[in-house]
Structure 1
Amino acid sequence: MKLIRPCLRRCGAVFLFLLMAASAQAQDCPPALPAPNPALLAQPPASAPDRGLLWQLEKDGRSAWLYASIHLGRPEWLIPGRRLQAALAASDTLALELNLGDPQVMQTMAAPVPGRPMLALPAELQSRMQALAQRYCLDLSPYARLHPVLQLGQLVVQSARDEGLGAEFGQEMGLMIQAQLRGLRMAGLETPTLQLQALIPASRQEALEEVREGLRQLESPEVRRQTRLLAEAWDQGDLATLEAYPQWCDCVHTPADRASLKRTIADRNPGMAEGIDRLHAKGQRLLVAVGALHMTGEDSLLVALRARGFRVTQRWPEPR
């Protein structure tokens, strides 16, 4: 498990915990990233640049919208571009992987995961995790009850602050701000338990190996380059680079790697497609945001939606 893999696969699952990171930082940490002007959030300018990737979904004579997220962002990314503003205006419901507006989601996320017993790390791995927490200025004590795989996700996102990226400026946060301002309902495509069971290996040995490999990647000087590549690909709407992820992430080498990627991404796509279809059938005008890797590969969410009868058209960037 390498840097980009845990970020793209796990950041959504630990998003609420990541928003608590600022309160868990030591006093000598770098200053917080500056927030954008609130007026630009309340009334986004028509000139705001479009970012990321946006698709229109059509079925039964009605439209929905699908937006790709990397769960991280820069302050200016909170301001929606013109096309995303139009999608927001056309929607009455914001659907995320998890319903982050539901207090019970937070409670479930903090509870033990059925079928995934808490894992006590060997002293060597625990020492390395603590060293990285100190390096990236993150107090792990508020997350001590989380599975180590999720604690690793905290470190992955915290490391992205070296590149000016934070979870508090991620796409989910920006969309939730807009949903509150515009009176949109909130919905979730998955339950926390279902998502966590997909993200945390059932096998103790597999979980230990994922933590070990994740720590090794975070200790590598390549961590910043990979984070930068991820951010640039999303910012530029570069789906080709995201599609090529298995080639540039240096993380898919063994059958276990491929099985893990399938479990955490492809195997979840049919369920999320079912959730989108169900909400759409109820007449809700949806804006959906899920992790960008779900839009890639032969078993992508886009493929699953087409199999359910949706016409899927990329609206940003416009295909050439």
Structure 2
Amino acid sequence: MRGIYISARMRAVDFSAPSRLVQRAPRQILAGVCCVFTFGAAHAACPPSAIASLEKPGIGLRNGVDRGMLWRIERDGRTSWLYGTLHVGRGDWVRPGPTIQKALTQSDLLALELDSRDEATARTMAQPADPALVARVLSGERARRLERQNAEACVPPGTTSKLQPILQVTALAGLAGRADGLYPEFGVDETLAVSARNSSKPIVALENAADQLRVLTGESEDEEGQQIDAALDELESGKLRGQLKELADVWARSDAARLARYADWCDCLNTPAEQRLLKRLLDDRNPGLADGIERLHASGKGVFAAVGALHMIGPQGLPTLMASRGFTVTPVLTSAQEQTAVPMPALAAPSPAPRARGGKAVKGQRVQKGQKGAPAAAAKGGRPAAAAKAAPAAKGAKAPAKSAGKAPAKAPAAKGKVSR
């Protein structure tokens, strides 16, 4: 199990959202990490809690900027969206960017891998594991290594000890990015869910917790143990932290090209076991995710489907799968970009547009439709009208109506293909 798979694993163990983001989340699934963050905040050697991290200089309420990867998908006269997310985030990523917010607002529902507030999901993930199984999988040196990593992460003894062994180490993996300001509490999926709930938009889960848990545990106790060992190796070496930071940086600048080559830089496909895990976490799940998105779209709904960004890449990625099902797929946010959020400005009443003498618009000022002093209408076909001086109209003749020319519409992408 590799750190780069955090986007798939973290969603399965969402113990952690602070009260501001998941106020109604079941107590049993929050108890473990609530204790972790309270403990961490009390000791200088521990990373600050997610809420405490917001008090750092430069972190606060800011204008949202567009991050992540977004595709528009169209079929049957309706528009839906594919949004590649990250299941951890920074405090200043909480507010969605304008393009993301507009697409979400225009959609009828938000589709996520799992809905963390669903009671059945919470019960499944918090279900105590068979004590005998835990004793078999977490024994000897493996158990001692896990205990040391819990101590280093400021997790009180026994906090996660009753959970499925793979979930115990997954919870630790989710804490590896705190030193770099990355917290599960600020995961992009969760912040989108908050935005959707604030606008009374329905949330639909594309998967269920039991299936995700089966994907994580593997086909045998031995395989689960191997995944735990690999994760502990990465935690002990600091490699997991580096992988998570790299993935977060790629996601934040919408660098889809870099993400598509992640197998070249993740150092996570070195053994047959790692290759099987990747296939199980991504390729094997993607058809089911595509089925759910297609079914919701076919029901007459505009869908904003937000799933881990790694589900978007490769020949089995969701954009390719949706194109094969007859959707027109158009990239919207996929080019690497550097963006900086700025503090929210104080609200002020809009100032009237400046006017030149005689009622004409000031040079450079955009003229509204029907505004006095507007320039001559564009010529037929959307091209600018000639600058020749018009002859005066005959006395009593009716002046010709002015009409604003429109730029020719861009040809739509071919149906069933991914537009580049």
TM (norm. structure 1) is: 0.90
Match of 1:258 in 2: 275
- The offset of 1:268, in angstroms, is 0.3
Alignment of 1:18 with 2:16, yes or no, is yes
**Contact residue 87 and residue 187 of structure 2 kept, 8 A:** yes
Match of 1:2 in 2: 2
Identity among equivalent pairs (%): 38
C-alpha deviations, 1:34-58, integer Å up to 9, x for none?
Answer: 449xxx98xx85xx32111111111
Match of 1:103 in 2: 119
Structure 2 unaligned residues grouped into runs of 5+: 18-29, 337-419
1:68-83 to 2 correspondence within 5 Å?
68-83=84-99
Q: Match of 1:141, SS?
A: coil
TM (norm. structure 2) is: 0.69
Alpha-carbon distance in structure 1 between the residues aligned to 2:129 and 2:296: 26
**Contact residue 110 and residue 305 of structure 2 kept, 8 A:** yes
Q: Match of 1:85, SS?
A: helix
Alpha-carbon distance in structure 1 between the residues aligned to 2:86 and 2:200: 24
Match of 1:154 in 2: 171
- The offset of 1:223, in angstroms, is 3.3
1:211-222 to 2 correspondence within 5 Å?
211-222=228-239
- The offset of 1:230, in angstroms, is 1.1
Match of 1:238 in 2: 255
Q: Match of 1:23, SS?
A: helix
CA gap 1:79/1:141 in 2 versus in 1, 3 angstroms = same
Pick the aligned partner of 2:288 from 268, 271, 274: 271
Letter in 1 for 2:328: R
Alpha-carbon distance in structure 2 between the residues aligned to 1:218 and 1:132: 7
Alignment of 1:92 with 2:108, yes or no, is yes
Alignment of 1:129 with 2:129, yes or no, is no
- Structure 1 or 2: more helix by fraction: 1
Alpha-carbon distance in structure 2 between the residues aligned to 1:113 and 1:281: 39
**How large is the Cα RMSD of the aligned pairs?**
2.2
- The offset of 1:93, in angstroms, is 0.9
Alignment of 1:167 with 2:166, yes or no, is no
- The offset of 1:112, in angstroms, is 6.2
Match of 1:55 in 2: 71
**Contact residue 256 and residue 335 of structure 2 kept, 8 A:** no
C-alpha deviations, 1:65-118, integer Å up to 9, x for none?
Answer: 11111200001111110101111210121110012332121112223689xx65
Letter in 2 for 1:23: C
**Contact residue 98 and residue 191 of structure 1 kept, 8 A:** yes
**Contact residue 55 and residue 67 of structure 1 kept, 8 A:** yes
C-alpha deviations, 1:150-195, integer Å up to 9, x for none?
Answer: 1111111111101100011110121011011111001000111112
Alpha-carbon distance in structure 2 between the residues aligned to 1:173 and 1:9: 14
**Greater CA deviation, 52-61 or 92-101?**
92-101
Alpha-carbon distance in structure 2 between the residues aligned to 1:312 and 1:101: 31
**Contact residue 129 and residue 162 of structure 2 kept, 8 A:** no
**Greater CA deviation, 284-293 or 17-26?**
17-26
**Contact residue 18 and residue 154 of structure 1 kept, 8 A:** no
The runs of at least 4 aligned residues of structure 1 exceeding 6 Å deviation read none
- The offset of 1:266, in angstroms, is 0.4
- The offset of 1:283, in angstroms, is 1.6
Match of 2:200 in 1: 183
**Contact residue 235 and residue 241 of structure 2 kept, 8 A:** no
Q: Match of 2:267, SS?
A: coil
**Contact residue 137 and residue 225 of structure 2 kept, 8 A:** no
- The offset of 1:304, in angstroms, is 1.7
Alpha-carbon distance in structure 2 between the residues aligned to 1:139 and 1:315: 44
Q: Match of 2:258, SS?
A: helix
CA gap 1:264/1:112 in 2 versus in 1, 3 angstroms = farther
Alpha-carbon distance in structure 2 between the residues aligned to 1:113 and 1:307: 40
Q: Match of 2:73, SS?
A: strand
**Contact residue 138 and residue 158 of structure 1 kept, 8 A:** no
Alpha-carbon distance in structure 2 between the residues aligned to 1:149 and 1:297: 27
Q: Match of 1:241, SS?
A: helix
Alignment of 1:67 with 2:83, yes or no, is yes
Alignment of 1:315 with 2:332, yes or no, is yes
Alpha-carbon distance in structure 1 between the residues aligned to 2:190 and 2:270: 34
**Contact residue 163 and residue 227 of structure 1 kept, 8 A:** no
Alignment of 1:145 with 2:166, yes or no, is no
Q: Match of 1:130, SS?
A: helix
**Greater CA deviation, 131-140 or 159-168?**
131-140
- The offset of 1:8, in angstroms, is 2.2
**Contact residue 2 and residue 240 of structure 2 kept, 8 A:** no
CA gap 1:237/1:126 in 2 versus in 1, 3 angstroms = same
Letter in 2 for 1:10: R
